[in-house]
Amino acid sequence: MPTANHQADYAEIYSRSLRDPQGFWREQARQIPWIAEPQTVLDQDDNGVWRWFADGMLNSCFVALDQHVAHGRGDQTALIYDSPVTNTVEHFTYSQLLEKTATIAGGLVELGVTKGDVVIIYMPMVPETAAAMLACARIGAIHSVVFGGFAPKELAMRIDDASPKVVLAASCGIEVDRVIAYQPLLNEAIDLAEHKPEHVVMLQREQCEAALQAPRDIDWFAWERAASPADCVPVKATDPLYVLYTSGTTGKPKGIVRDNGGHAVALNYSMSAVYGVQTGDVYWAASDVGWVVGHSYIVYGPLFAGCTTILYEGKPVKTPDAGAFWRVLAEHRVKSFFVAPTAFRAMRKEDPSCELLSQYDISSLQYQFVAGERLDPPTYHWLKEHLDVPVIDHWWQTETGWSICANMAGIELLESKAGSCTLPAPGWDLRVLDADGKELGPNQEGAIVIKAPLPPSAFPTVWRDHQRYEDSYWSDYPGFYLTGDGGYRDEDGYVFVMGRTDDVINVAGHRLSTGRIEEVVAEHPAVAECAVVGIADAEKGQVPVGLVLMKDGITQDFDALQDELVQAVRGAVGPIANFKRAIVVPRLPKTRSGKILRQVIRKMIDGEPYTVPSTIDDPAIVDELLETLTAQGWMQ
C-alpha cells in the first residue's frame, strides 16, 4: 500500500534484486569510489562461499572520509560527539576527522601494524574510537572492537582468538556518574590470555588516569602528536575490514568477519534506501561502537554516505533524564534516528506520558527506526502516540551488517503493522521453513532462512574457524543461511520475527549466549548441573535466570548461593549479562539424549503454551518443575 512518500516501487526493485543480483549490485557499486572497479560482481571463493566484487580494490577509510574532502565537503560536520556524562559537545568536520584518522593510522604504522594485522579496540564512546576504527581501515589492518561492558575473561577470549598486534584502549568508560576504570580489566585480560599484544596505546581520560607499564603501554596523546599521517592502502574488496565477536550457542564467541567491498556498497545503499537520508543529512544511531549497530550506523554507513553522524556517550535516562534523546534530536536537527526498543522502554518507565518531549523541537525528525530486538507492540504504540513520524521496525544481525527486513523509507514507505519488520530488503531471498525444510505458508511459524547468495556485506566466514561458519549457519538447510530466528510471514508477506530458536538471548538489546552463562554457573562448587534461560522482562526484553541442581550433601544457604552466582557471572561475562536470579530445582527436563529442554522451561516460566517433545526422557520431571516454580512464585 504505497503512501504519499512513494518514490519508487518497492516490489519492482525487490524482485529485480533477486532476478538479476549482479546487475542490481553492480549499479550500487558504482555509487562508491573504487581504486580498481570490480569486473567480477559475484563469484564463489575457495570455500564455495559467494563473494562480491572479488577483483575490486578500494579503501573503506577513503570511502568514508577522503572522498568527501576531495569533493569539497571538507568543512561539513562529519561527527558530533555529544557526551552528557562529560558535559561535552564537539563537532568534527570531514577534514578534521580525516586529519585525526590519518595521524592515528600513522601511529599504528610506526608500531609495526601493517595490512592484515589485527588491532583490538577496547574503548568507550569517544571520537578517538571512531577515528581508530577508520585508521585501521586506512592501513588495511583489521579492527576488532570489544564492548566495554564485557568482563576480562570475555576480553581475554577475544584477544586469544583475534591475536592482535596492538590494543587501543582508554583509561575509563563512564556509566552515568560511575567511572569504570578500563586498565585493570584490560591488564587482567592480557594476563589471562595466552596471546600477548606487543603494545597497548592508552587514551588517558581526565576522569581516571591509568598507570602505564613501559615499554608495552604507550600514552595515546604523545603517540598521536609524534605520528606522521599515513595514506590509504588499497585492499581487495574481499579483504577483511573487521572482526566483531558475537554470541553463539556455545560459550565461545564467534568472530564475524566483514569484508571491505560488499560492506561499503551495501551500507552506502542502505543509507538512502533504508533510512531515507542523503549526503549532508544528520543521522543518529544511539547504540555503542562495541555492537554491530555502532559499526554500521555510527561509523561506516553515515560517513560512506557523507552524512553527519552522532557519537552519543550517555543513556536514554539519567543523563540527566528521560528527555535526553529528545534533547539530542532537537539540538543536532537529526533527520533519521535509530535505537533499540529497550531504550524507549527505559524512557517510558520514567516518563510514561512522554511529557519531556514538549520541551524540545524535534521537527527535523522524519523517521524513527528501531532494531536490535523485537519491537513489542506496547512500545510501538507508545512511539506512534507520541511521535509524528513513521516508526520503522527493521530486523538484522551482526552476521548481515544491515537490514534483512525493513520498511524501506527511501524507496517506498509501506503501511506498518505492529510486531512486523515489514518486508525483505533488496537482495534478501527470505523463506520460512519447517524442520524438514519444507516451505511454510502464511501465518505458519518456522525457521527464518535466506537463500544463497546472501547480498553484499553478509559475512563470508567465522574468523579462523570456517568449519563453524558451515556448521552453525549452513548445515541445517543446505543452500540456505540459518538466521537463528523463528517467525512467520502473514498473508501480505509481512515478516514477523518472534525470537531466537537457539540458545541465544537478547538482554536490553545485547546478544548473549545462555551456554556461556551456564559455563560460569556450573563452575560453582555447590552446583551439580544448571540450565540458563532468558525469560521475559518488561524493561530489558529478556533477562537470564539460572535453574540449579545442587550437589548431593551441599546445604548452602540459597541467598548466599544466589549472590555468589550473580557475582560469578558479573565477573566472568560482565554486568551487561544482567544475571540476577537463580532457583534450586530437583531435576531438569531433558531429552533421552541428554539435551536440556530450555525452550520448554522458558515458555513455562513466561506462561506460554509449550509442547513436551516425544523424545523427553521422563515426562514427570516437567510436572515436578512446574510445581517447584509455582510454589516459589516464579510463574509470570
CB 444 within 8 A of CB 310: no
- SS3 call for 253: coil
Q: How do strand 57-58 and strand 235-236 relate by DSSP bridges?
A: antiparallel
Q: Count interface residues toward ligand AMP (CB under 6 A).
A: 21
Site string for ligand AMP, 234-253 (x = CB under 6 A): ------------x-------
DSSP 458: S
Looking at the Cβ atoms of 398 and 513, the one nearer to ligand AMP is 398
Which of the listed partners (ligand COA, ligand AMP, none) does 368 bind, with a CB threshold of 5 to 8 Å by partner kind?
A: none
CA 570 – CA 559 distance, rounded (Å): 16
Is-cis flag, bond preceding 453, omega within 30? yes
Which of the listed partners (ligand COA, ligand AMP, none) does 255 bind, with a CB threshold of 5 to 8 Å by partner kind?
A: none
Smallest CA-to-CA distance from 392 within 411, 373, 378, 413 is with 413
Which of the listed partners (ligand COA, ligand AMP, none) does 287 bind, with a CB threshold of 5 to 8 Å by partner kind?
A: ligand COA
Looking at the Cβ atoms of 82 and 399, the one nearer to ligand AMP is 399
Please identify which residue in 368, 398, 420, 599 interacts with ligand AMP, judged by CB under 6 A.
398
Which of the listed partners (ligand COA, ligand AMP, none) does 506 bind, with a CB threshold of 5 to 8 Å by partner kind?
A: ligand AMP
CA 594 – CA 615 distance, rounded (Å): 10
CA 517 – CA 523 distance, rounded (Å): 10
CA 636 – CA 634 distance, rounded (Å): 6
C-alpha cell of residue 96: 578534521
Looking at the Cβ atoms of 223 and 367, the one nearer to ligand AMP is 367
Which of the listed partners (ligand AMP, ligand COA, none) does 60 bind, with a CB threshold of 5 to 8 Å by partner kind?
A: none
Looking at the Cβ atoms of 103 and 247, the one nearer to ligand COA is 247
Least Å distance between CB 6 and ligand AMP?
24
Looking at the Cβ atoms of 56 and 487, the one nearer to ligand COA is 487
Residue 578 is a binding residue for ligand AMP (CB under 6 A): no
Residue 301 is a binding residue for ligand AMP (CB under 6 A): no
Site string for ligand AMP, 189-228 (x = CB under 6 A): ----------------------------------------
Instruction: List the interface residues with ligand AMP, window 505-564 (CB under 6 A).
Output: 506, 511
Please identify which residue in 117, 313, 393, 518 interacts with ligand AMP, judged by CB under 6 A.
393
Is-cis flag, bond preceding 21, omega within 30? no
Which of the listed partners (ligand AMP, ligand COA, none) does 393 bind, with a CB threshold of 5 to 8 Å by partner kind?
A: ligand AMP
Q: How do strand 367-370 and strand 336-339 relate by DSSP bridges?
A: parallel
Least Å distance between CB 274 and ligand COA?
15
Least Å distance between CB 478 and ligand AMP?
21
Least Å distance between CB 231 and ligand COA?
33
Looking at the Cβ atoms of 189 and 343, the one nearer to ligand COA is 343
Helices H / strands E in the chain, number of each: 20, 31
Looking at the Cβ atoms of 117 and 288, the one nearer to ligand COA is 288
Treating both helix axes as pointing N-terminal to C-terminal, what angle do 558-572 and 152-162 enclose, rounded to 10 degrees? 30
CA 257 – CA 461 distance, rounded (Å): 6
Q: How do strand 254-259 and strand 240-246 relate by DSSP bridges?
A: antiparallel
Tell me which stretch binds ligand AMP (CB under 6 A): 223-231, 259-267, 297-305, 396-404.
396-404
Site string for ligand AMP, 496-515 (x = CB under 6 A): -x--x-----x----x----
Looking at the Cβ atoms of 288 and 519, the one nearer to ligand COA is 288
| H/E element, 513 | strand 510-513
Looking at the Cβ atoms of 291 and 402, the one nearer to ligand COA is 291
CA 335 – CA 337 distance, rounded (Å): 7
Residue 294 is a binding residue for ligand AMP (CB under 6 A): no
Tell me which stretch binds ligand AMP (CB under 6 A): 17-25, 61-69, 157-165, 372-380.
372-380
Please identify which residue in 421, 432, 495, 572 interacts with ligand AMP, judged by CB under 6 A.
421
Q: How far is CA 123 from CA 88, 103, 113, 205, in A?
A: 17, 18, 19, 11
Least Å distance between CB 39 and ligand AMP?
33
Residue type, 160: D
Unique residue bearing C-alpha cell 552519543: 312
Unique residue bearing C-alpha cell 555492537: 291
CA 311 – CA 86 distance, rounded (Å): 13
Looking at the Cβ atoms of 287 and 368, the one nearer to ligand COA is 287
Residue type, 481: Y
CA 601 – CA 579 distance, rounded (Å): 17
CB 65 within 8 A of CB 78: yes
Unique residue bearing C-alpha cell 510486531: 419
CA 36 – CA 45 distance, rounded (Å): 19
Q: Which residues bind ligand COA (CB under 6 A)?
A: 148-149, 173, 175, 180, 287-288, 291-293, 315-316, 340, 342-343, 346, 372, 508-510, 540, 575-576, 578
CA 358 – CA 495 distance, rounded (Å): 34
How many other C-beta atoms are found inside a 10 Å radius of the C-beta of residue 556?
16
Please identify which residue in 412, 485, 503, 519 interacts with ligand AMP, judged by CB under 6 A.
485
309-337 burial, b at 16+ Cβ within 10 Å, e below that, comes to bbbbbbbbbbbeebbbbbbbbbebebbbb
Looking at the Cβ atoms of 51 and 295, the one nearer to ligand AMP is 295
CA 259 – CA 240 distance, rounded (Å): 4
Residue 379 is a binding residue for ligand AMP (CB under 6 A): no
Which of the listed partners (ligand AMP, ligand COA, none) does 313 bind, with a CB threshold of 5 to 8 Å by partner kind?
A: none
Least Å distance between CB 521 and ligand COA?
17
Site string for ligand AMP, 321-350 (x = CB under 6 A): ------------------------------
Looking at the Cβ atoms of 24 and 428, the one nearer to ligand COA is 428
CA 74 – CA 571 distance, rounded (Å): 45
Kindly list the residues in this chain that would bind ligand AMP in the complex (CB under 6 A).
Answer: 246, 291-292, 371-375, 393-398, 421, 484-485, 497, 500, 506, 511
